[in-house]
Structure 1
Amino acid sequence: MTSPATAGAAIEEIAALGPFFAVHTHPPGTEPPGSSGLWQPVSRPLLEARVSGVRDWLAAAGGQPSGAIEPRVAASVAHLGLAARLISPALAAAVLHGLVLAPRLADLRWQPVLGGPVPLSLPHDAFDGSPADPAPDRLADRLGRCLLDGPLRELADALAPFSVSPHILWGNTASAVNGAATMITAARPDLTARTRAITSLLLDHPPLRDTNTTTPDGAFRRRSCCLIYRAAPGGKGALCGDCVLSR
């Protein structure tokens, strides 16, 4: 088990990469210190409430009634944001310290606010064991088993009832992996080769293998759409840069 001191030092360095990487910590089975009721478990009822909140937020952004936004669109957008919030610190921990983040979804604490990165707190024992073999293939394999097949699968399962296809949900996850890698390399160009090596192997892990491809110019391209363009009036919003529909 990674000691709280080791985890704390890693988290401090990870947070320097940007707001999507910053996390708090709390003792297992307790609430974050000084929470005053702000922190809550990542439960299915709260995830359902978040989808509703995202639906209202998307509608207001487009000057539309909430009913104009398909629930599956709101669910996909909510999922993408939360997946990115989990993946960013996990990928950074692997790249920087050879640590593998492996919490259960129920062990996390969050403040389900809208707008910007969701405040997230990890239990002290969220890292799987001591620093791992630093080889990219070993780290990618452990990230696949501990993160993709752990809390990220739980998250996808929790939002699947909103009629979002698994292909879209895992495409969102792949997009979040690539987005986190892009942010790491922008902040730390010296880590580009290591980050891309781990990312490439992780994107080849079975849940993600068929969700993405590489364009002739070397860019990441997902094989699905997060659906956010459908939230705009008339379903005519802009497409994301990595969308399968982009040309």
Structure 2
Amino acid sequence: MSEFARVLATLRQIRGLSPFFALDVGRPDDDWHDGEALSHGPALPDALDRIGARYRTAERRVAASLFFLGYTARLLSPVVAARAVGGVAPDVRPANVWWRYSPEGLQVRLKDPLAGVGIAESLEPVVEAVHAVTPVARGLLWGNAGSSVAGALRTISRSGVDCGALADELFADPPLKGTGEFIPFPGEVVFRRRSCCLYYRLDGGGTCGDCPLTPR
């Protein structure tokens, strides 16, 4: 079976776990951006402006955090699920991604069903691109990535797949190492991150389930 076929077979296998595990492949309509547009041009700043308007916040770093949290949730969830079921994880580097921010929120899809590389290599260009347009801490962004990975593991574990060894592997090295810790809890994946995604800064916002801050 070719690499393309193995990646496509894996994506079909995992897409029913949750909407966050469904990742489409192929060229979309014209209003989508090439992943490379994250690093240059107006696409990313414009998306942050629209996120700020949608959530009524003038804090650029909050909008940046929300963007990256959505980006990682939609791309890392299928990567983690693919690893969990023993399939071939897709390539989610910017060069293989289409994206757009629409009234429905952030949407992503793959250009081609290629086999991927590690999470750090896949996301580092996006972390740097977001950090370049607003002074949000890199550690906070990697914390968002860790939170997205942990959330995927939690959902997968509820389908009966043992994710303990995979969790240890994914968080064994930087940049995910040190973003948080797993707390023993019978029958559940519980993660407590060391940074805050800033969601509490929104009007009506509170702290997330894995937030290190006192619940508010």
TM range (shorter): 0.7 to 0.9
TM-score by length of 2: 0.86
Q: Hey, which of these two has a bigger chunk of helix by percent?
A: 1
Q: Which residue of 55, 63, 68 corresponds with 1:74? A: 63
Residue aligned with 1:123, SS: coil
Q: Which residue of 53, 56, 65 corresponds with 1:56? A: 53
Corresponding residue of 2:5: 5
Letter in 1 for 2:173: H
Corresponding residue of 2:136: 164
Corresponding residue of 2:193: 222
Residue aligned with 2:101, SS: coil
Q: What aligned pairs does 1:38-57 form with structure 2 within 5 A after superposition?
A: 38-42=31-35, 43-44=37-38, 45-57=42-54
> Could you tell me how far 1:198 is from its partner in structure 2?
0.6
Q: What aligned pairs does 1:1-247 form with structure 2 within 5 A after superposition?
A: 2-26=2-26, 32=27, 35-42=28-35, 43-44=37-38, 45-59=42-56, 68-115=57-104, 118-125=107-114, 127-128=115-116, 146-161=117-132, 162-186=134-158, 188-189=159-160, 191=161, 193=162, 195-215=163-183, 217=185, 219-232=190-203, 237-246=205-214
Distance in 2 of aligned mates of 1:204 and 1:222 = 15
**Deviations 1:154-203, CA, capped at 9 Å, x for gaps:** 111111121111110111111000011112222x21x1x2x232122212
User: For structure 1, which segment, 83-92 or 97-106, has the greater mean C-alpha deviation from structure 2 after superposition?
Assistant: 97-106
Distance in 1 of aligned mates of 2:88 and 2:118 = 12
Between the two proteins, the alignment pairs up a number of residues equal to: 207
Unmatched tracts of structure 2, length 5 or more: none
Larger of the two Rg values belongs to structure: 1
Structure 2 contact 184–190 (Cα < 8 Å) conserved: yes
User: For structure 1, which segment, 218-227 or 110-119, has the greater mean C-alpha deviation from structure 2 after superposition?
Assistant: 110-119
Residue aligned with 1:110, SS: strand
> Could you tell me how far 1:20 is from its partner in structure 2?
0.7
Residue aligned with 2:129, SS: helix
CA RMSD of aligned residues (A): 2.2
Distance in 1 of aligned mates of 2:55 and 2:2 = 40
Structure 1 contact 111–118 (Cα < 8 Å) conserved: yes
Distance in 2 of aligned mates of 1:223 and 1:171 = 7
> Could you tell me how far 1:36 is from its partner in structure 2?
3.5
Residue aligned with 2:192, SS: strand
Unmatched tracts of structure 1, length 5 or more: 27-31, 60-67, 129-145
CA distance change for structure 1 residues 147 and 2 in 2, over 3 Å: closer, same or farther? farther
Percent identity (aligned): 32
CA distance change for structure 1 residues 2 and 158 in 2, over 3 Å: closer, same or farther? farther
Distance in 2 of aligned mates of 1:177 and 1:230 = 23
Structure 1 contact 103–150 (Cα < 8 Å) conserved: no
